[in-house]
Structure 1
Amino acid sequence: MIRPEDVVLILLAAGRSERFGDIGSKLDEPFLNRPLGLHVAVALEAVPFRERIAVVGNAKVDFPSHGFRVLTNHDPSRGMASSVKIGVEHAKAIGAKAVLIALADMPRITATHVYTLFDAFDDDAAVVASSDGERPSPPALFGCAQFDFLLALEGDSGARDMVRRGKHVVTTPAELIDVDTQEELERLRELVHAPEAYTRHHRRP
């Protein structure tokens, strides 16, 4: 078990939204009356992290108003690992015992699930990932003994083997929905009866 006060939250929000279309950033798209990328920040607002880091690209989401230090990835084309490095470098510099890496395009994550990840943490080398019962995914918790490995990653897939071998905490598939395309966002809006589902049908292909 680890205390949230010893954990730095790293929220990855620098993706190029290539599969979503030429809209700037999908994280700025409205969902349940707030930007898609802000839902994780709001859901975890009461968790007393040591610090909250948002690694951003071109999204205009107002992370600072929710307690985040914003760090910019000026070259997100290098892949997700480049954003992970930016966040982990800061966490290592301030002596964090672990980082929780979350994605800003997963708007259904809950604080309850994050606390179950904390409960499953057992030592500094721990890797604790989320799972829908079939495959691991973010959010994922990494102990400080894994920081140097995370800092050596390249591209988008370097951490997958480490996560696959780690401990997995199962939650509902609905909580781990991520949004990569306009169609996925429309389906999610309809699933939760979001007002945008009834006012933005012109956005469909």
Structure 2
Amino acid sequence: MELLKASSILFVLLNPFLISIYLISLIRDLSLKDFSKVMMRAHIISAIVFVIFALAGESIFEEVFNVRFGAFLIFGGIIFLWIGVQSIFSGKVVLIETRGDPEHIAGSIAMPFMIAPGTISASVLIGSQLPAASAAAAIIAAISFSLVSIIVFKLIHDPLKKRNERLLNRYVEVMGRVVALFTGTFAIEMIAKGVGMLWPS
């Protein structure tokens, strides 16, 4: 149960539906084979990073990077706030460059959309609650479910695009603004947590 709970928390924070909205340009432009290859690379990169943070814990920030975890949360919150503000005014969340090699696109997807303050914090928490092997298994399970969910979204999108392209474009624009509201709200929460950790008084 602990493993399932930990995996569920990371899966919710990854939010494959949200990622699908951000990656709508890739979903439109790439074939299923190329899209699956890109997403698999991005998820593998993310899984490796999450496992490292789960095993190392918060000490990795102070001992390796010589920074406090709160500072990381504040900076990550500022990035998400910038993304949210841009998206809320434009209605667009297309921030991924679709040209280039799959490994380069995969890196852009992994950071900052998957490897973010929230998911890294969850990985640290998973590592503190479960044995190393169980923590790694929970992370791999969450990553696998996320990958499958995004590919399913691609499979649903392609037939709809051909029949209802204008309606689909309008839906993406509206959802872009809705997603931006949650992105900005989440960003403020991350900044507040970071400030609280750095200056608890």
Decide which structure has greater strand share.
1
TM-score (norm 1): 0.26
TM-score (norm 2): 0.27
**Higher RCO by CA contacts (8 Å cutoff, separation 6 or greater):** 2
Decide which structure has greater helix share.
2
Structure (1 or 2) with the larger CA radius of gyration: 2
